[in-house]
Amino acid sequence: MPPVRIFLCTYRRPRLLRRALAGLLAQTHSDWICELHNDAPGDPSPRTVMDELAPHDPRFVYHDHTHNWGALATFGHAYTGGPEPFASLLEDDNWWEPDFLAASLRALALHPSASLVWANMKIWQEQPDSQWIDTGRTIWSPSPGASVSPLLAFSAPELLQAFDALHSQGAMVFRPERFRPAPLPTSLPLAIIEPARERAALGPLLFLTTPLAHFARTLGTARDADPARWLQAKLLVAASFLQNVSVPPAAYAAMWAQRRAQRPRDTGLFFCLALALRDRSLLRPAQWGDWIHFILSAVRHPRRLARGLSFRRDQPEVWAWFVAQTRSLSSPVASATVLSKQIPS
């Protein structure tokens, strides 16, 4: 039996599927099985691409969905894994370097208690003419002065998990029995599926610092187009963490500085958290520029702010799930990573 099952998910993007599939076929570790899931009933293009690039390849199992499952259900199926000890999710817009699977399986063999391993990713930007430009950036980079080894291990809670996921689901290999949390709420916003699953992971999370995969920043996005719902999603992740985990002041100030340096500035979330949690101490690292930026935003978009702050009332099931998972973390104190993450979407 192969050691790893790949779940390759696609929806009406044959050009991107071709690139993802070519990267899978080029893997130096070739002992795998792949479920190719076409979530667009009636679209024959995924089978055409598979038959062209991998004719009669017995490692592929093709699944034509009889109805549109949607991203949440499709990903949920992937996370159940298969009979193999390891599994991986490959979305059609991302692709892997040839050594991705081999390096990931080596890392997991060295750490039998780890939930998963993920690799750094190069960020590519889609252009209006459907071409792609290498931005020259990676999702992860070392903090100034930090010495980073090729393989790092993280144990929750990490401060960054208050605002995002550590791992990238498009560049990971996981152990299904350690990365299969209780069923996610059906109303969970797709934009925060990675932080949600990671909040419930068992065991360390391993990180390969070498870029072994590619992240496609597409012109379209799965992020909710409603900015108020997007704010609610971010507050569900952050407020549940900060309400239940203690954060060292120096580490929290460093996170302020990192988000202040982003363009556009992204410190407004901290003001929303202070309001939601009624905790003025969260604003101690704020500078005048942060205050001015937040006040101007609140004046321009008062309804967005009001709706965003109603995240617990509007999403009670998701809020309760995040709180329960956060309270079950092994430590009540967050540590701070030596890496910084470029939010790619």
- The arithmetic mean of pLDDT across residues 313-318, rounded, is 96
What are the tens digits of pLDDT across the range 94-111?
A: 999 999 999 999 999 999
User: Looking at residue 160, what is its pLDDT?
Assistant: 87
Give the model's confidence band at 339: pLDDT under 50 very low, under 70 low, under 90 confident, else very high.
low
User: Looking at residue 95, what is its pLDDT?
Assistant: 97
List the one residue out of 265, 261, 185, 272 whose CA is nearest residue 231.
272
pLDDT of 317 higher than 60: yes
Of residues 101 and 155, which shows the higher confidence score?
A: 101
List the one residue out of 72, 52, 1, 7 whose CA is nearest residue 31.
1
User: Looking at residue 335, what is its pLDDT?
Assistant: 82
Give the model's confidence band at 224: pLDDT under 50 very low, under 70 low, under 90 confident, else very high.
low
Parallel, antiparallel, or unpaired for β 60-64 and 116-126?
unpaired
CATH 3.90.550.10 domain range(s) in the chain: 4-217
Q: List the CATH code of the domain at 4-217.
A: 3.90.550.10
CA distance linking residue 78 with residue 75, whole number of Å: 5
Reading the block at residue 196, the tokens are: 């949600």
Q: What mean pLDDT value characterizes the chain?
A: 90
CA distance linking residue 280 with residue 39, whole number of Å: 46
Of residues 343 and 205, which shows the higher confidence score?
A: 205
pLDDT of 144 higher than 50: yes
What are the tens digits of pLDDT across the range 233-261?
A: 999 999 999 999 998 888 888 889 888 88
User: Looking at residue 49, what is its pLDDT?
Assistant: 95
Of 53-57, 82-86, 263-267, 291-295, the one with minimum mean pLDDT is 263-267
Helix, strand, or coil (residue 189): coil
Number of H helices and E strands in the chain, helices first, is 12, 12
CA distance linking residue 226 with residue 304, whole number of Å: 9
The pTM of the full predicted model, rounded to 2 decimals, is 0.89
pLDDT of 147 higher than 70: no
What are the tens digits of pLDDT across the range 257-314?
A: 888 887 788 899 999 999 999 999 999 999 999 999 999 999 999 999 999 999 999 9
pLDDT of 344 higher than 50: no
